[in-house]
């Protein structure tokens, strides 16, 4: 089965169209003010409107208030919310809205316990750990820490580039790969050549 590709940190409708034309299966909108790829709810709604029905729009939130989540659901209407902070299972599940749970790979993490706690229909996104950053670190982690078999959608993130994504897929067999900085000229500005190369490398082994 072909691996799906998510391009995260889209900051304009023009970028959204470009990544879709490049063959991406999903795009991410970062509604988190501390991110260099931040878009507000109005911008996210405008970008989401440019996403075709065949491509997933995913809204990334970090430790949001209930009100922000409800605004995102009502106005952006994403296919999934991606909870990328320290949100509890109870917080994520109270909205009765499909979500992806980001798992930041800190030392000593019990992956099985983390997965068991969340009813994440969209899957679990595994990302590098940072003491002070919630994603977008540009760093990878030891892929051998990931389970070899899963009963959920495994999404691989963290330091992926056109140069290493094929190797990452061969080693982890994910449902989806997620890239942001690895296909950029600068934070929030995607490079069409890098995006096309990333998608091609990710999908070359069907």
Active-site residue 127, yes or no?
yes
Rounded-to-integer distance, Cα 122 and Cα 125, Å: 9
Q: HEC states along 100-152?
A: EEEEEECCCCCHHHHHHHCCCCCEEEEEECCCCCCCCCCCCCCHHHCCCCCCC
Helix (H), strand (E) at residue 54: none
Six-digit token pair at 171? 């080693």
Catalytic residue among 25, 92, 127, 178: 127
Task: Give the number of other CB atoms < 10 A from CB of residue 88.
Answer: 11
Catalytic residue among 8, 25, 92, 178: 8
Active-site residue 92, yes or no?
no
Q: If you compute the radius of gyration of the chain from its CA atoms, what whole number of angstroms results?
A: 16
What positions carry a catalytic annotation?
8, 127
């Amino acid at each position: 089965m072909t691996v799906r590709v998510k391009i995260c940190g889209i900051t304009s409708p023009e970028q959204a169209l470009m990544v879709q034309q490049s063959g991406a299966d999903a795009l991410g909108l970062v509604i988190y003010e501390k991110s260099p790829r931040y878009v507000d709810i109005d911008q996210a709604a405008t970008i989401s409107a440019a996403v075709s029905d065949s491509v997933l729009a995913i809204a990334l939130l970090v430790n949001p208030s209930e009100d922000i989540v409800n605004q995102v659901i009502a106005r952006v209407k994403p296919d999934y919310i991606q909870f990328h902070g320290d949100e509890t299972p109870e917080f994520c599940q109270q909205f009765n809205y499909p979500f992806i749970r980001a798992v930041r790979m800190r030392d000593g993490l019990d992956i099985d316990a983390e997965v068991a706690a969340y009813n994440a229909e969209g899957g679990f996104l595994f990302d590098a750990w940072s003491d002070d950053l919630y994603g977008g670190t540009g760093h990878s982690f030891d892929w051998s820490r990931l389970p070899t078999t899963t009963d959920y959608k495994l999404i691989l993130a963290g330091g992926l580039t056109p140069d290493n994504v094929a190797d990452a897929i061969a080693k982890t067999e994910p449902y989806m790969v997620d890239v942001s900085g690895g296909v950029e000229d600068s934070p929030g500005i995607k490079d069409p050549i890098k995006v096309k190369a990333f998608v091609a490398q990710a999908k070359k082994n069907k």
